[in-house]
């Protein structure tokens, strides 16, 4: 469910006419619904209320400070993967003990800063990383909590680029190596193994893969107990799928129903890391139709937003629903909706039947709140889009459109001609 709905023939975000926003702030423009964002967080919280998990919103899905602040204010923790995300988390006042840190490639500087700040724990992705965290923690004389990220080798039935819990993926530690850590741990006196972590992939629509992965964790927890390793936390990661097209993903309630019995059995504190589930349907990308171009083979709707603004269709051939901001009775026609970028991969939709669009009108690319702006770039020297957040009838600019000066801010032309 989301708060982007037609009122008579106009698309509204909560109580605001989206076309008014497009005209006022220009396009491409990301528009978020505060109500939808918070509602999704609360839905998950409610579904799991019996075990009161720590819900650490996955910053990578959408790292805008306003979104982070909205969720942190509601009690969310944050799941981070870089020093930059740690910076953002602290900027919005997220308590350090609600921050968990994954990533296969944490640098020494990043590890050191996170230890100094006292995050809840690192999700450790390899044995060398564990040894490195121990070394750095020792140099700081600060015992540090870690959760071992287990790669449970399960098939999450999603796109191969966003599958993370198979042994062919770079993520996590296989169960055999994880057992070896138990022998190693006595030599690692500056890390305390306080949890287990899994994150098996993204846009997962069924609960079976979670159940399979969590079952493997339950078995491993028994092994830990036998080795006198007492852990406190089980982090089941993110990955919950949303509706982009015709998917029928499990609801928060159904997901809870399937995994709660297993989780309860462990008696551990549960952590979750949802990103897309919270932010995905809380945002849209609004673009303006620049030209309608017909070729002998195709009809192209050329809009002013491109793959630099929303790369998901180009990267994963992801489907995003596209609707005109003004609904009217008109014939459907099959078109490619494309951006201005000099790549044939620059499309939002291919061979899609859409209401016949006109030059100058606006469209909304739906479900763009997660992995939309956060994956955007300056490719083709395009300024990154503006972002606004709507709360009922109020509109907040949460990121200004970049300027041309922003584009070149960190570039330096050497004072002399090259070659001297």
CB-CB contact of 235 with 274 (8 Å): no
Angstrom CA distances, 79 to 56, 59, 132, 157, stand at 5, 6, 21, 23
Per CB under 6 A, 58 contacts ligand LLP: yes
* List 27, 33, 82, 203, residue binding ligand LLP (CB under 6 A): 203
Tell which residue, 344, 375, 361, has the closest CA to residue 64. 375
Per CB under 6 A, 240 contacts ligand LLP: yes
Choose between 58 and 144: whose C-beta lies nearer to ligand LLP.
58
Ramachandran category for residue 153: left, alpha or beta (phi over 0 → left; psi -120 to 50 → alpha): left
Tell which residue, 200, 267, 261, has the closest CA to residue 231. 267
Per CB under 6 A, 273 contacts ligand LLP: yes
Element (H, E) at 294: strand 283-294
What minimum distance in Å lies between the beta carbon of 317 and ligand LLP?
Answer: 11
Is 94 catalytic? The answer is: no
What minimum distance in Å lies between the beta carbon of 356 and ligand LLP?
Answer: 30
* List 239, 306, 324, 369, residue binding ligand LLP (CB under 6 A): 239
Q: Which residue has the tokens 């724990």?
A: 121
Angstrom CA distances, 392 to 12, 17, 33, 237, 285, stand at 10, 11, 8, 31, 19
Question: In this chain, which stretch among 35-43, 220-228, 275-283, 352-360 interacts with ligand LLP, using CB under 6 A?
Answer: 275-283
What minimum distance in Å lies between the beta carbon of 145 and ligand LLP?
Answer: 17
Separation between Cα atoms, residue 323 and residue 187, nearest integer Å: 59
Q: Which two tokens stand for residue 64?
A: 């805008």
- How much is the CA Rg of the chain, to the nearest whole Å? 23
What minimum distance in Å lies between the beta carbon of 252 and ligand LLP?
Answer: 12
* List 194, 202, 266, 308, residue binding ligand LLP (CB under 6 A): 202
Per CB under 6 A, 106 contacts ligand LLP: no
* List 275, 306, 339, 369, residue binding ligand LLP (CB under 6 A): 275
* List 237, 283, 306, 313, residue binding ligand LLP (CB under 6 A): 237
Per CB under 6 A, 61 contacts ligand LLP: yes
Question: What contacts 277, CB < 8 A, 6 or more positions away?
Answer: 40, 44, 238, 240, 241, 242, 252
Choose between 197 and 326: whose C-beta lies nearer to ligand LLP.
197
Question: In this chain, which stretch among 106-114, 198-206, 253-261, 288-296 interacts with ligand LLP, using CB under 6 A?
Answer: 198-206
Choose between 268 and 395: whose C-beta lies nearer to ligand LLP.
268
Question: In this chain, which stretch among 41-49, 90-98, 359-367, 369-377 interacts with ligand LLP, using CB under 6 A?
Answer: 369-377
Question: In this chain, which stretch among 4-12, 133-141, 199-207, 361-369 interacts with ligand LLP, using CB under 6 A?
Answer: 199-207
Q: How many Cβ atoms are within 10 Å of 291's Cβ, its own excluded?
A: 12
By the 10 Å C-beta count (0-12 exposed, 13-18 middle, 19+ buried), 219 is classed as exposed
Per CB under 6 A, 348 contacts ligand LLP: no
Q: Which residue has the tokens 């570039």?
A: 411
Per CB under 6 A, 320 contacts ligand LLP: no
Q: Which residues sit opposite 77 in a β-bridge?
A: 56
What minimum distance in Å lies between the beta carbon of 203 and ligand LLP?
Answer: 6
Separation between Cα atoms, residue 167 and residue 181, nearest integer Å: 18
Choose between 311 and 325: whose C-beta lies nearer to ligand LLP.
311
What minimum distance in Å lies between the beta carbon of 370 and ligand LLP?
Answer: 6
Name the catalytic one among 13, 94, 227, 342: 342
What minimum distance in Å lies between the beta carbon of 149 and ligand LLP?
Answer: 8
CB-CB contact of 305 with 339 (8 Å): yes
| Beta strand pairing call for 269-272 and 233-235 | parallel
Residues contributing to the site for ligand LLP (CB under 6 A): 58, 60-61, 79, 102, 162, 199, 202-203, 237-240, 273-277, 312, 316, 370-371, 375
- The residues that are catalytic are 342
């Amino acid at each position: 469910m989301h708060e982007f709905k037609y009122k008579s023939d106009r698309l509204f975000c909560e109580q605001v006419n989206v076309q008014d926003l497009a005209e006022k702030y220009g396009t491409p423009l990301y528009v978020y619904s505060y109500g939808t964002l918070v509602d999704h967080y609360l839905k998950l919280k409610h579904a799991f209320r019996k075990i009161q998990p720590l819900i650490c919103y996955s910053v990578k899905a959408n790292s805008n400070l306003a979104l982070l602040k909205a969720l942190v204010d509601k009690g969310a923790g944050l799941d981070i993967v870089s020093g930059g995300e740690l910076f953002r988390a602290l900027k919005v006042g997220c308590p350090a003990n609600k921050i968990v840190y994954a990533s296969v490639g944490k640098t020494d500087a990043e590890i050191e800063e996170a230890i100094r700040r006292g995050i809840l724990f690192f999700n450790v992705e390899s044995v060398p990383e564990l040894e490195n965290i121990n070394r750095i923690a020792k140099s700081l004389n600060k015992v540090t909590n870690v959760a071992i990220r287990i790669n449970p080798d399960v098939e999450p039935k999603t796109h191969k680029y966003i599958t993370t819990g198979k042994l062919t993926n770079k993520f996590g530690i296989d169960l055999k190596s994880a057992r070896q850590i138990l022998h190693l741990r006595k030599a690692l006196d500056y890390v305390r193994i306080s949890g287990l972590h899994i994150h098996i992939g993204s846009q997962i629509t069924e609960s079976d893969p979670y159940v399979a992965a969590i079952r493997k964790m339950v078995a491993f927890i028994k092994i830990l107990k036998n080795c006198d390793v007492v852990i406190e936390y089980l982090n089941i990661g993110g990955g919950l799928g949303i509706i982009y097209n015709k998917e029928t993903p499990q609801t928060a309630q159904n997901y809870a129903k399937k995994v709660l019995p297993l989780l309860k059995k462990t008696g551990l504190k549960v952590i979750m890391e949802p990103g897309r589930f919270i932010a995905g349907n809380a945002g849209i990308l609004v673009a303006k139709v620049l030209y309608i171009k017909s070729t002998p083979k195709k009809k192209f709707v050329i809009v002013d937003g491109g793959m630099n603004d929303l790369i998901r269709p180009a990267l994963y051939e992801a489907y995003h629903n596209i609707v005109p901001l003004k609904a009217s009775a008109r014939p459907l026609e099959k078109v490619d909706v494309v951006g201005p970028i000099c790549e044939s991969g620059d499309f939002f939709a291919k061979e899609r039947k859409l209401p016949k669009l006109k030059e100058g009108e606006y469209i909304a690319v739906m479900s763009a709140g997660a992995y939309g702006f956060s994956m955007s770039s300056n490719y083709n020297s395009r300024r990154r889009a503006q972002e606004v957040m709507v709360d009922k009838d109020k509109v907040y600019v949460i990121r200004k459109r970049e300027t041309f000066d922003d584009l070149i801010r960190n570039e330096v032309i050497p004072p002399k001609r090259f070659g001297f």
